[in-house]
């Protein structure tokens, strides 16, 4: 193990309410402290002009392995995470086989250790084989490392199963992550239900499909006392429902993606399948409500919702293409563009949404720079300008609508467990 001295950076640690220029000392894989010194240092990192913060954490990413290695592998996905500044990610269970037992969860952890990139925390499937008929072996999955449970992109549509899942996972102090959507209202739909879906003649997903499911989930969370996390909220009514639920003391949290903050349904006029995401891109009215939800603490975290696909799967008609974009490597610049540059949030607030917020939801104790903590640290260059080029992605997926965008802000160095795992080549 080594000693690393990071000097002259702007240290931002929302967990300790620290935001000042200082030095950070790391030894033997742990944080020694801020403004600590050491007689012998193995590596000295000049962080002048950089932000030094806890390693970023992504709440849910699709790593595709096992079963869909043509789209992504744990090795390539975690390499992409490092390039995006993430030291920990939670992996979706919608693989083949599904992560619905202890062995499947342990495989994810083992593969991540072999890859030697960032940390990976498995999300377990709520039901066996995602069939929505019988709960998975929740206790065994917890023993295997599962930090939460989800149906991934399939909503837990059966209210009785959702009720029992919330009750059972409460015993293990684990949240249920749900994709809030009424399946019957979005069947065969392609985009947001509104002016542009009518103009383009494409079936639409009404905002009500999200509102209805969130209302049900909040009621069940209140009834059971279980922990509910709502993934990728995208509507104004969702934000208002979550705000009211939190005011009543219900254990509900939520996240939003950067692409739902910078793009609207108008983008689908291009018929480019890279704009096809689930939930769909909506209108500016909804974006404004999401930003207000981030500003007042209603929304707890920002996540990539990383959904990589092999090129041939997206290179088809928009109605036939799968939903989703790659996101791990573009989260930071898109957050700068949508939140920092317009003045909606400052850097400490953004770092909290990308570190301490996800840490609290997953309960993984990885989002702080306090003495003794694991040395998971991200150094961000907030001012560097660059052009998004999918050819440079470390992810196998190239399905992004942001190719050619001129953006600012990027992870410069990423340290996991006291080891430098990534340095930007720029």
DSSP class of 340: I
Query: Per-residue pLDDT averaged across 163-180, rounded?
Result: 97
What residues have CB less than 8 Å from 131, skipping those under 6 apart?
Answer: none
pTM of the shown model: 0.96
Do 124 and 368 contact (CB within 8 A), yes or no? Answer: no
pLDDT of residue 40: 85
Rounded Cα distance between 94 and 104, Å, is 11
- pLDDT, tens only, 386-417: 999 999 999 999 999 999 999 999 999 999 99
List active site positions: 305
Q: Report how far apart, in Å, the C-alpha atoms of 84 and of each of 21, 328, 359, 412 are.
A: 23, 5, 17, 9
Q: In this predicted model, what pLDDT tens digit does every residue of 98-155 receive, in sequence order?
A: 999 999 999 999 999 999 999 999 999 999 999 988 999 999 999 999 999 999 999 9
CB 368 within 8 A of CB 356: yes
Q: Domains in the chain, please, with CATH?
A: 3-51+374-423 (2.30.40.10), 55-362 (3.20.20.140)
Q: CA-to-CA distance for 306 and 19, rounded, in angstroms?
A: 29
CB atoms within 10 A of CB 163: 18
Q: Rounded mean pLDDT of the chain?
A: 96
CA separation for the pair 191, 113 (Å, rounded):
38
């Amino acid at each position: 193990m080594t000693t690393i001295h990071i000097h002259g950076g702007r240290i931002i640690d929302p967990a300790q309410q620290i935001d000042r220029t200082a030095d950070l000392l790391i030894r033997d894989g742990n944080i020694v402290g801020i403004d600590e010194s050491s007689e012998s240092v193995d590596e000295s990192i000049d962080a002048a002009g950089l932000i030094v913060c806890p390693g970023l954490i992504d709440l849910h990413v699709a790593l595709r392995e096992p079963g869909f290695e043509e789209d992504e592998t744990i090795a390539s996905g975690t390499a992409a995470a490092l390039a995006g500044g993430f030291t920990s990610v939670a992996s979706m269970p919608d693989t083949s086989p599904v992560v619905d037992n202890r062995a499947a969860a342990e495989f994810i952890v083992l593969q991540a250790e072999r890859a030697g990139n960032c940390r990976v925390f498995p999300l377990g499937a709520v039901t066996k084989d995602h069939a929505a008929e019988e709960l998975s072996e929740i206790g065994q999955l917890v023993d295997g490392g599962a930090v939460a449970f989800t149906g991934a992109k399939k909503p837990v549509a059966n209210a009785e199963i959702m009720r029992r899942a919330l009750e059972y996972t409460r015993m293990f102090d684990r949240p249920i992550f749900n994709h809030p959507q009424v399946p019957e209202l979005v069947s065969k739909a392609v985009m947001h239900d509104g002016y542009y879906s009518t103009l383009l003649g494409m079936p639409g997903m009404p905002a009500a499909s999200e509102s209805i499911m969130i209302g049900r989930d909040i009621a069940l969370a209140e009834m059971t006392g279980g922990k509910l996390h709502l993934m990728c909220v995208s509507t104004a009514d969702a934000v208002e429902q979550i705000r009211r639920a939190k005011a009543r003391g219900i254990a509900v949290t939520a996240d939003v993606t950067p692409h739902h903050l910078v793009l609207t349904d108008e983008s689908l006029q291009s018929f480019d399948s890279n704009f096809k995401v689930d939930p769909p891109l909506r209108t500016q009215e909804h974006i404004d409500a999401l930003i207000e939800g981030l500003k007042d603490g209603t929304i707890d975290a920002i996540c990539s919702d990383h959904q990589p696909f092999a090129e041939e799967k997206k290179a088809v008609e928009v109605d036939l293409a799968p939903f989703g974009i790659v996101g791990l490597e573009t989260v930071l610049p898109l957050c700068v563009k949508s939140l920092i540059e317009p003045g909606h949030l400052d850097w400490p607030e953004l770092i909290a949404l990308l570190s301490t917020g996800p840490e609290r939801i997953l309960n993984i104790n990885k989002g702080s720079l306090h003495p003794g903590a694991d040395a998971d640290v991200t150094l961000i260059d907030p001012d560097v300008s660059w052009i998004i080029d999918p050819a440079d992605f470390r992810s196998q997926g190239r399905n992004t609508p942001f190719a050619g965008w001129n953006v600012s802000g990027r992870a410069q160095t990423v340290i996991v467990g006291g080891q430098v795992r990534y340095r930007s080549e720029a």
